Structure 1
Amino acid sequence: MEHKIYTPEDFKEGQILLFDKPLGWTSFQLVNKVRWLIRKSCHIKKIKVGHAGTLDPLASGLLLICTGKFTKKIEELQGQVKEYTGTFTLGATTPSYDMETEVNETFETEHISEEDIIGATFEFIGVIDQVPPVFSALKKDGKRMYEYARNGEAIEIPSRKVEITEFEITEVRFPEVDFRVVCSKGTYIRSLANDFGKTLGTGAYLSSLRRTKIGGFLVEDALDVTGFENLLP
Structure 2
Amino acid sequence: MDPNQKPITNPYLLGQVLLIDKPLGWSSFQVVNKIRWLIKQEYGLKKIKVGHAGTLDPLASGLLIICTGKETKNINVYQAQEKEYTGTITLGATTPSYDLETEIDQRFPTTELTPELLQKVTQQFTGEILQKPPIYSAIKKDGKRLYELARAGETTEIKERQVTVTTFKLSNIKLPKVDFKIACSKGTYIRSLAHDFGTALDNGGHLSALRRTAIGEYRVENAMTLEEFEANFMNLNHCPNPES
AA aligned to 2:214 is: K
Task: Provide the aligned C-alpha RMSD in A.
Answer: 1.2
2:5 equivalent in structure 1 = none
Deviation at 1:64? 0.4
- Runs of 5+ consecutive residues of structure 1 not aligned to the other structure: 1-7
Q: Structure 1: which 4+ aligned runs deviate by more than 3 Å? A: none
Q: Distance in 2 between matches of 1:86 and 1:232?
A: 30
Q: Matched residue of 2:214: which SS?
A: strand
AA aligned to 1:79 is: A
Deviation at 1:119? 1.2
Contact persistence 1:41–1:232 (CA under 8 A): no
The alignment's TM-score, normalised by the length of structure 2, stands at 0.91
Q: Matched residue of 1:98: which SS?
A: coil
Aligned length: 227
Q: Matched residue of 1:230: which SS?
A: helix
Deviation at 1:191? 0.2
Q: Matched residue of 1:196: which SS?
A: helix
Aligned pairs for 1:149-168 (under 5 A) are 149-168=150-169
Aligned pairs for 1:1-20 (under 5 A) are 9-20=10-21
Contact persistence 2:110–2:175 (CA under 8 A): no
2:131 equivalent in structure 1 = 130
Q: Distance in 1 between matches of 2:233 and 2:83?
A: 29
Deviation at 1:148? 1.1
Which structure has the larger Rg over C-alpha atoms? Answer: 2
Aligned pairs for 1:74-223 (under 5 A) are 74-223=75-224
- Identity across the alignment (%): 58
1:60 equivalent in structure 2 = 61
Q: 1:89 to 1:171 in 2, by over 3 A?
A: same
2:48 equivalent in structure 1 = 47
Q: Distance in 2 between matches of 1:206 and 1:88?
A: 5
Deviation at 1:188? 0.2
